[in-house]
Amino acid sequence: MITIIAGTNRPNSRARRVANFYAELLAEHGAAAQLLDLTELPLDFTTSALYANTGRHDEFNRLVSLAEEADKLVFVVPEYNCSFPGVLKAFIDGLPYPGGIRGKKAALVGLSSGSQGGILPLNHLTDVLMYLGTAVLPERVRLPFIDQHLTTEGQITEPLYQQLLREQAARLLQF
């Protein structure tokens, strides 16, 4: 099972639309995938589900189980202030340690409205994942100027972006 993580809790996010597109690519390969959408995080999870409250919040635990039960993960990560969203970091911090996503394999997709395509968030997230013992697929996909190439219905209109995502999905299945 592959879990695709839409890396923000912003409603109707571009990350969610790209995550849905990625799920379609995996389905074309016959791969089972599920979506972990951070919009489903409890609003108070940083106080009600972390630290002394670890394991005590059923709604948070359900999302944690989506990450834990996966063999592989796909992180679709928007760029927020030259890094990845804090809510994603807080979610990762709430995963069991050690354990959680240790020993899993991950693919990273960065997106931004600017020209860098999320390279800084991907670098930061790679460091965090490697520290946690999660292997990161070397082929990280960056999607710059995403607003120009993603419809409100979730279609990616840039053929190069489609190709890069298809190639990465195929490599993830072999990884």
Three-state SS string over the chain comes to: CEEEEECCCCCCCHHHHHHHHHHHHHHHCCCCEEEEEHHHCCCCHHHHCCHHHCCCCHHHHHHHHHHHCCCEEEEEEECECCECCHHHHHHHHCCCCCCCCCCCEEEEEEECCCCCCCHHHHHHHHHHHHHCCCEECCCCEEECCHHHCECCCCCECCHHHHHHHHHHHHHHHHC
Q: How far is it, in rounded angstroms, from Cα 28 to Cα 92? A: 29
Q: How far is it, in rounded angstroms, from Cα 73 to Cα 109? A: 11
pLDDT at site 156: 97
Given a contact cutoff of 8 angstroms between Cβ atoms, the answer to whether 84 and 116 are in contact is no
pLDDT, one tens digit per residue, over 48-98 is 888 877 878 889 999 999 999 999 999 999 999 999 999 999 999 999 888
Residues in the chain predicted with pLDDT less than 50, given as ranges, are none
Neighbours of 20 (CB within 10 A): 17
Please give the angle made by the CA atoms of 116, 120 and 123, to the nearest 5 degrees: 130
What domains appear along the chain, each with residue ranges and CATH number?
Answer: 2-174 (3.40.50.360)
pLDDT at site 51: 81
pLDDT at site 10: 95
Q: Tell me, what amino acid is at 79?
A: E
Question: What are the backbone angles phi and psi of residue 50, rounded to the nearest 5°?
Answer: -110, 165
This prediction has a pTM of 0.95
